[in-house]
C-alpha cells in the first residue's frame, strides 16, 4: 500500500506462459513508423505511456535499462503482474533501494505495443520528480524502445518517430553527421572531445543520457581537471538520493565537427558512483541541454546516431545564477478581480491547480500550485539578499507567478546577468520583498 493507492498484483499466469508472449515493442502490421508528440520540460522529454490500462507520464531516458515506476500517488489503482522483490542501485548519496519487479505487463505508446514488459516499481514515496518539473511524472523508460526501433527525435517540433528498424532508410543531408556509438549493457556511448583548462583537446567517451536535464558531466582524472572557477551545487536527484558536485564551464565540447563553446559542465562528487564498479572507459555523460541542440536519430541495432543541429544549437547555456531552486509544494488559493459573473469552471488538464470558483462580487478564487524555495546556494545573490529555503514565492518583478509554469518562473529569476530581480515571498504568514542583482558566475 502506497499513500492509499491500490496496486493490483497478479502472482499467476493467466492462461499462457510468459515465454510464449512477445517481449518486444512492435508496430501494427503494415505500419512503417509511429509518431508521438512529447513535452519538453527542463530539457527532459515527457511521453504518455499506458501500463495495463492506466495512463501514465514517463521521462524518455536513454540512460535507463528496464522501465521504472514511482510516484503513483495520483493513481487510484494500477495493475502489476507477476511480482517479486528486488534491490536497485541508483545514483545518489543513499543506499540501494528496495523495489518490486513485475513481468508480463501490457504496455503501449499510441499504436506501439509490448505484450510482456518487465517493470521495476520503487515504493519509496520520497522518490518523486514531479515537484521539480511541475507536472506529474510516474516513471522512466528507455532502452527497450531504443532497442526495438530506430528512434527519430525532433527537438524543434517536439515529435518522436519510432521506425521499424528493418525498413528504415537513412536520410542524411550535408548538415547531418552519422556517427558510431557503442551500446554496452543497455546504454549508448558516444566519443567526443573537450577542452577543459588548456588548449589541448581531450578525447572522452560519454554516456548519451536523455534522462539528464544537464549539459555535460565529466569525471575528474589525471587528464580531466576541474577548472579553477567553479561553485558547489546540487546537480540533481537520483533513485538513491541527491547528487552534488561542482558546476563550471569548459572552453568547448566537440562532437564530430560540431563545436559548442563555453559549454556548461559539472563534475559530480564521485561518492555518487560508489555502486558502480566498472565505468567501461566512460568519462562522463551528455544530457538534455546538449542533446536538444540537435535533431537526433538513434539506431541501436547498427550502433549509429545521426546528428543535425537545430535552432537551439547557438543558444547560450543556462545557469542558475540566482542560486534558487524551486519546486511545487501543494496548492494555495488566489483571489482575483474579474467582471461580474457566477459559476464554477473545471479544467480537464492534469495540473496541480484544476478548479476555479467564481464568486458574486467580481472575485475569482483559484486553486493554484504553491511554489517554494526548495534549496538555495550559499553565497549566491538570492542567499545574500536574505531568501531562505521554504519561502513561498508569490511574485517575481511584480508578476504573480501562479500564471506561469515552473520553468518559466525559473527563467524570470535567472533572466540575464546584471538584471535586478525582485522576489515577493510569504514567510510565516508575512509578505516579504527581496531584491538582488544577477551576477556572472565565472568572470
User: Which DSSP string do the residues of 84-143 spell out, in sequence order?
Assistant: EEEEE--SSSS--EEEEEEEEEEEEETTEEEEEEEEEEE--TT---HHHHTS---EEE-H
The rounded distance, in Å, linking the Cα atoms of 145 and 65 is 10
CATH fold match for the domains 6-163 and 175-309: yes
* CATH class of the 324-437 domain in this structure: mainly beta
Question: pTM for the complete prediction?
Answer: 0.84
Nearest to 193 by CA among 263, 244, 123, 138: 263
pLDDT of 363 reads 63
Question: Please, which residues have CB within 8 angstroms of residue 345's CB and are 6 or more apart in sequence?
Answer: 355, 356, 358
Nearest to 115 by CA among 179, 42, 19: 19
Q: pLDDT digit string (tens) for 147-175?
A: 999 999 999 999 999 999 988 998 888 88
Neighbour count for residue 262 (Cβ, 10 Å):
13
Please check whether residue 356 is in contact with residue 402, taking contact to mean a CB–CB distance below 8 angstroms: no
Residue 409 sits at the vertex; the CA angle it makes with 403 and 411, to the nearest 5 degrees, is: 135
Neighbour count for residue 294 (Cβ, 10 Å):
23
pLDDT of 136 reads 87
Q: Which residues of the chain have pLDDT under 70?
A: 1-22, 73-76, 90-95, 125-126, 239-240, 272-280, 334-365, 443
The rounded distance, in Å, linking the Cα atoms of 119 and 68 is 6
- So where are the chain's domains? 6-163, 175-309, 324-437
Residue 319 sits at the vertex; the CA angle it makes with 316 and 321, to the nearest 5 degrees, is: 125
Q: What is the CATH number of domain 175-309?
A: 2.40.70.10
Residue 7, CB half-sphere, CA atoms under 13 Å: how many? Answer: 20
Residue 33, CB half-sphere, CA atoms under 13 Å: how many? Answer: 15
Fold of 6-163: Cathepsin D, subunit A; domain 1 (2.40.70)
pLDDT of 168 reads 93
Residue 107: phi, psi to the nearest 5? -125, 135
The rounded distance, in Å, linking the Cα atoms of 247 and 290 is 15
189: β partners = 182, 207
Amino acid at each position: 500500500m502506497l499513500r492509499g493507492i491500490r496496486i493490483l498484483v497478479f502472482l499467476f499466469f493467466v492462461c499462457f506462459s510468459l515465454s510464449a508472449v512477445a517481449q518486444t515493442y512492435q508496430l501494427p502490421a503494415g505500419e512503417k513508423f509511429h509518431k508521438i508528440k512529447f513535452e519538453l520540460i527542463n530539457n527532459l522529454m515527457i511521453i504518455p505511456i499506458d501500463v495495463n490500462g492506466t495512463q501514465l507520464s514517463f521521462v524518455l531516458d536513454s540512460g535507463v535499462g528496464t522501465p521504472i515506476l514511482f510516484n503513483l500517488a495520483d493513481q487510484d489503482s494500477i495493475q502489476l503482474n507477476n511480482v517479486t522483490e528486488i534491490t536497485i542501485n541508483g545514483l545518489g548519496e543513499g543506499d540501494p533501494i528496495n523495489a518490486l519487479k513485475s513481468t508480463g505487463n501490457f504496455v503501449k505508446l499510441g499504436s506501439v505495443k509490448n505484450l510482456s514488459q518487465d517493470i521495476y516499481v520503487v515504493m519509496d514515496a520520497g522518490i518523486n520528480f514531479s515537484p521539480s518539473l511541475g507536472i506529474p511524472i510516474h516513471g522512466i523508460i528507455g532502452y527497450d524502445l531504443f532497442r526495438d526501433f530506430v528512434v527519430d527525435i525532433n527537438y524543434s517540433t517536439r515529435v518522436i518517430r519510432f521506425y521499424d528498424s528493418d525498413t528504415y532508410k537513412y536520410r542524411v543531408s550535408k548538415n547531418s553527421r552519422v556517427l558510431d556509438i557503442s551500446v554496452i549493457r543497455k546504454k549508448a556511448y558516444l566519443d567526443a572531445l573537450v577542452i577543459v583548462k588548456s588548449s589541448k583537446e581531450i578525447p572522452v567517451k560519454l554516456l548519451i543520457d536523455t534522462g539528464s536535464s544537464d549539459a555535460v558531466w565529466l569525471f575528474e582524472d589525471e587528464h580531466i581537471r576541474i577548472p579553477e572557477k567553479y561553485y558547489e551545487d546540487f546537480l540533481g536527484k537520483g533513485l538513491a538520493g541527491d547528487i552534488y558536485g561542482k558546476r563550471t564551464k569548459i572552453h568547448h565540447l566537440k562532437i564530430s565537427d560540431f563545436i559548442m563553446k563555453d559549454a556548461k559542465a559539472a563534475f559530480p562528487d564521485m561518492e555518487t558512483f560508489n555502486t558502480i564498479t566498472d565505468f567501461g572507459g566512460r568519462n562522463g555523460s551528455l544530457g538534455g541541454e546538449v542533446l536538444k541542440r540537435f535533431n537526433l536519430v538513434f539506431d541501436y541495432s547498427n550502433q549509429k546516431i545521426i546528428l543535425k543541429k537545430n535552432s537551439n544549437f547557438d543558444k547560450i547555456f543556462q545557469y542558475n545564477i540566482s542560486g534558487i531552486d524551486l519546486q511545487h509544494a501543494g496548492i494555495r488559493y488566489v483571489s482575483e478581480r474579474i467582471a461580474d459573473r457566477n459559476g464554477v469552471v473545471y479544467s480537464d488538464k492534469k495540473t496541480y491547480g484544476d478548479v476555479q470558483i467564481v464568486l458574486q462580487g467580481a472575485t475569482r478564487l483559484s486553486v493554484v500550485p504553491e511554489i517554494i524555495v526548495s534549496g538555495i546556494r550559499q553565497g549566491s545573490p538570492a542567499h545574500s539578499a536574505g531568501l531562505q529555503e521554504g519561502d513561498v514565492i508569490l511574485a517575481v518583478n511584480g508578476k504573480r507567478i501562479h500564471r506561469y509554469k515552473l520553468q518559466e518562473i525559473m527563467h524570470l529569476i535567472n533572466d540575464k546577468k546584471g538584471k535586478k530581480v525582485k522576489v515577493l515571498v510569504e514567510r510565516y504568514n508575512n509578505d516579504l520583498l527581496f531584491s538582488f542583482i544577477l551576477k556572472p558566475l565565472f568572470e
